[in-house]
Structure 1
Amino acid sequence: MTRLEAAEPTRATNAPPDLTELTSLRFIAALAVLVLHYRDFLGPLPGWVLRGIVGGQYGVTFFFILSGFILTYRYHGWFATGVGDVAFWRFQRLRVARLYPVYLFGLLLDTPWHLIERAQVSQLAAVGTTYWASWLLNAVGLQAWVPAVPFAMFWNTPAWSVSAEFFFYASFPFLVHWLSRRLRSTACLAFAFVLAVCGGIALYGAVIYTMNYVVAVGAEAQYIVLVYNPVLRFSEFVAGSLAGWYFVRMQHQPDGLRHRGASLGSARNVVVMVALAAIAARVWMPDYTGPDRWVWLLDVSVKYGSFVLPFTALILAVASGHTVLSGLLLRPWMVALGEASYALYIIHWSGVTILKMGYFGGKPSWAVVAVFLFGTVGASVLCHRWIEAPWRAKLRGPSVF
């Protein structure tokens, strides 16, 4: 690393303004994941409804893109001229302060139920050492790298995405430095964005082909690799960073995106509606089940990559100014839920685990499921206020943005 002349990163007084509406969008994505994981308790559902609920899995793709966008928007100045030791480690500390308190709380919250569950089937003593090793791996956020149960897909299962985020954070300073030095025109940014999306799809396809036609890999390991592996999901984060860098550049133009106000309002609304339509169309598009393996390979390879463009367009449109969604996204209660969305994402798995253990019957009533669903949303707000916010303040250190 090269050292910057400045000993400290930019102070909070120079922090860019918050993009409040994007905070509210995070809640919608987190709620989609929550409903996805409760789908088995919602009773028999029409196929089209179930497919829409299963589409909640792409909320994680939205999170990865938004993460790259927001980090670039807020921290590009830290690394524009180089990746210094002070700035690098300060950034990592801020990200740990942001994620780890609730991450650890979610793991501790979920742990007793899994231990009870294993003890009930007399597995705890036989494989206890393995379970504790996997718990420690989860505690340090490395589970996304191990394609096996119980290291992945066992404790607080949704927290795998935080494991991926830790990898993204380690890479981010070098990524944003490269963006700021090399991509100085809209044409270059557009080309890099296409390259990131297509490169991610190509890598995904190559791994799928290898695991199916070159090396025999079991279905469970395949699933963990294809869904959890941080390298395979990195292109989503990169695409978000590219969009963030484009947004930053436009803000520094005299007629930047947010300065042009109403003159771009209609265009933003069109982008929002087209992006939402494209997302819905992809969610409800039937999977290819025919005999041609190359068509099948293409179909599964674009599983996540096909959402990158519409999600990115939606984020850019909402970040750029007032849209048709602003009336909802700017409501104080939506913003509050958005601020608690990370806590909602992390703690909701314990409710799913409890219901699956059958304490409320093999098929919980709608009333019980509703209590768990709404109770989890309420608990996430309390978790944000009592755990996430205060511990973030304690761990951040001196005030920076």
Structure 2
Amino acid sequence: MVSFPSLRRITASGAYLPEIDGLRFMAIFAVLVFHVLLLSQTYMGYYALPSNAFAHFTYDLMLNGRYGVPVFFAISGFILGLPFAKQYLNGGKKIGFGPYLMRRVTRLEPPYILSLLIRTGPVMAAKGYTFLWILPHLLASIFYLDMAIYRDYPVVQLVAWSLEIEIQFYLLIFLLAPLLFRAKATLRRCVFVFALFLPGTVQYYLWNYTGLSHHDLFFYSIGVWIQFFLAGMLVADIFVTDLGRIPSTWLWDVLSAVVWIVFFIVPDGGSQVFGPAMLVLLLLGAFKGKVFRWFYSLSPISIIGGMCYSIYLTHSLVLQALAFAYYKMAPRDPSYLRFVVSILIFIPLLIAAGAVFFVLIERPCMDRRWPQKLLAFLSGKREAPKKQAVTVDASLPR
């Protein structure tokens, strides 16, 4: 029987932060609910909500589950920014670009490419695409360039649009980190706060007062999301320099509860402008709150959150199959209760499918020596086993 600890993410060094995986749980759960809502409405039509304020309120929360993606971006900003903050602010180990890039490739690419290959056939069958037509999109997606080339969401794995944004930050952080973390504390914090609000304000102006459309390359670039990554980098700065001086109090729990609700009910424009500041509070609340820190650290919560990359990669295809069986075979009944029942049925199955992919594919790739071990296995040699530490790794929505 597989125990909970064996399902945690693994890397070669570092300390495990269950609070971060707890935040990942919140983000992936929100995304799953949002996608179930969209697909159920595709099959059943829009739901007739009960005539009470609570039903409308919860419906709006679920409809804004797409805001779970910026939460992932902020977490990536924190996880990737943390070693750079230690390097520049605490004289920590220097991050080399070569090992850093190789780790991203060996850790993230195999699960991603496999998910693309698994999806190619079903997408061709469902959409009527030929292999020669979809092949360029598949190759572009492998190199995270589908949106940049075709100015639209990826064809083979639509949800991978966020991964194409993430990879831009993975490369950009080597320019951002020296600029931000080398400055004096006062100037550094002022720049961070300014950077949290300026991009969203500019984006709000571009969407509403210019001719910028979804076919413009800017829409598919990190320029639309940079402020969320910077929010995570700011928390990495605070984590390294000042976290110990911030008191742990119940007030962080109250603040976190309020901010979570506000974050998922604000309109798109408000989310772009004020969302990054709210995510800074949520990340700090994860470390300094009492109830939320306890909740995020619960084994089932942190373990599911730690599998979010696998769940993110697999849930779309599994959800399509579940929805076809559930909505096509059952009577058409676009009721709110029917949707709630579908949530209770689908989400555990989506998590279970992601867990299988995690155990078989993603988790082995968390061992940074898996390429050497694979070569040794193929050549008939046996490599001496090395102890693996359990820690947080920089994976996606990943």
TM-score norm. by structure 2 comes to: 0.76
Is 1:47 matched with 2:30? no
Match of 2:19 among 11, 18, 21: 21
Q: Sort the Cα spacing of 1:209 and 1:322 in 2 relative to 1 into closer, same or farther, 3 A.
A: closer
Aligned to 2:313: 346
Matches within 5 A, 1:136-215: 136-146=139-149, 148-149=151-152, 152-182=153-183, 184-185=184-185, 187-209=186-208, 213-214=210-211
Is contact 1:145-1:230 (8 Å) kept? Answer: no
Q: Which consecutive unaligned segments of at least 5 residues does structure 2 have?
A: 1-10, 50-54, 332-337, 373-385, 392-398
Once the 2 structures are TM-superposed, how far is the Cα of residue 130 of structure 1 from its aligned partner?
A: 4.0
In structure 1, what residue type is equivalent to 2:306?
E
In structure 2, what residue type is equivalent to 1:245?
D
Shifted more, 52-61 versus 136-145: the winner is 136-145
Aligned to 2:119: 110
Is 1:132 matched with 2:135? yes
Aligned to 2:4: none
Once the 2 structures are TM-superposed, how far is the Cα of residue 96 of structure 1 from its aligned partner?
A: 2.3
Q: Which consecutive unaligned segments of at least 5 residues does structure 1 have?
A: 1-11, 288-299
- Structure 2 CA distance for aligned equivalents of residues 82 and 21 of structure 1: 23
| Residue deviations 1:34-54 (CA, integer Å, cap 9, x gap) | 110000427624433321112
| Residue deviations 1:182-201 (CA, integer Å, cap 9, x gap) | 1x31x334312221122211
**Bigger RCO of structures 1 and 2 (CA < 8 A, at least 6 apart):** 2
Is 1:265 matched with 2:216? no
In structure 2, what residue type is equivalent to 1:174?
L
Match of 1:280 among 251, 261, 264: 261
Is 1:239 matched with 2:213? no
Is 1:221 matched with 2:195? no
| Residue deviations 1:130-165 (CA, integer Å, cap 9, x gap) | 42211211121123424634xx24321111111111
Q: Sort the Cα spacing of 1:303 and 1:25 in 2 relative to 1 into closer, same or farther, 3 A.
A: closer
- Structure 1 CA distance for aligned equivalents of residues 237 and 76 of structure 2: 13
Is contact 2:74-2:228 (8 Å) kept? Answer: yes
Is contact 1:147-1:225 (8 Å) kept? Answer: no
Q: Percent identity?
A: 20
- Structure 2 CA distance for aligned equivalents of residues 83 and 48 of structure 1: 48
Q: Sort the Cα spacing of 1:137 and 1:377 in 2 relative to 1 into closer, same or farther, 3 A.
A: same
Once the 2 structures are TM-superposed, how far is the Cα of residue 233 of structure 1 from its aligned partner?
A: 0.9
| Residue deviations 1:350-372 (CA, integer Å, cap 9, x gap) | 1233356x455447576776544
Aligned to 1:297: none
Q: Sort the Cα spacing of 1:195 and 1:271 in 2 relative to 1 into closer, same or farther, 3 A.
A: same
Q: Which runs of 4+ in 1 moved over 6 A?
A: 79-84, 396-401
Count of residue correspondences: 345
- Structure 2 CA distance for aligned equivalents of residues 188 and 363 of structure 1: 61
- Structure 1 CA distance for aligned equivalents of residues 228 and 29 of structure 2: 20
Q: Sort the Cα spacing of 1:305 and 1:99 in 2 relative to 1 into closer, same or farther, 3 A.
A: farther
Aligned to 2:290: 323
SS in 2 for 1:178: helix
Aligned to 1:382: 356
Q: Sort the Cα spacing of 1:77 and 1:174 in 2 relative to 1 into closer, same or farther, 3 A.
A: farther
SS in 2 for 1:38: helix
In structure 2, what residue type is equivalent to 1:190?
R
Once the 2 structures are TM-superposed, how far is the Cα of residue 167 of structure 1 from its aligned partner?
A: 0.7
Match of 2:275 among 307, 325, 348: 307
Q: Sort the Cα spacing of 1:334 and 1:221 in 2 relative to 1 into closer, same or farther, 3 A.
A: same
In structure 1, what residue type is equivalent to 2:145?
L
SS in 2 for 1:383: helix
Aligned to 2:107: 98
Q: Sort the Cα spacing of 1:117 and 1:339 in 2 relative to 1 into closer, same or farther, 3 A.
A: same
| Residue deviations 1:53-84 (CA, integer Å, cap 9, x gap) | 12211111111111111222234345678998
Is contact 1:113-1:354 (8 Å) kept? Answer: no
Is contact 2:140-2:146 (8 Å) kept? Answer: yes
SS in 2 for 1:141: coil
| Residue deviations 1:314-339 (CA, integer Å, cap 9, x gap) | 112323x4521233222222221121
Once the 2 structures are TM-superposed, how far is the Cα of residue 172 of structure 1 from its aligned partner?
A: 1.1
Q: Sort the Cα spacing of 1:165 and 1:396 in 2 relative to 1 into closer, same or farther, 3 A.
A: farther
Shifted more, 70-79 versus 230-239: the winner is 70-79
TM-score norm. by structure 1 comes to: 0.75
In structure 1, what residue type is equivalent to 2:321?
I
Shifted more, 88-97 versus 39-48: the winner is 39-48
- Structure 2 CA distance for aligned equivalents of residues 328 and 282 of structure 1: 19
Is contact 2:33-2:343 (8 Å) kept? Answer: no
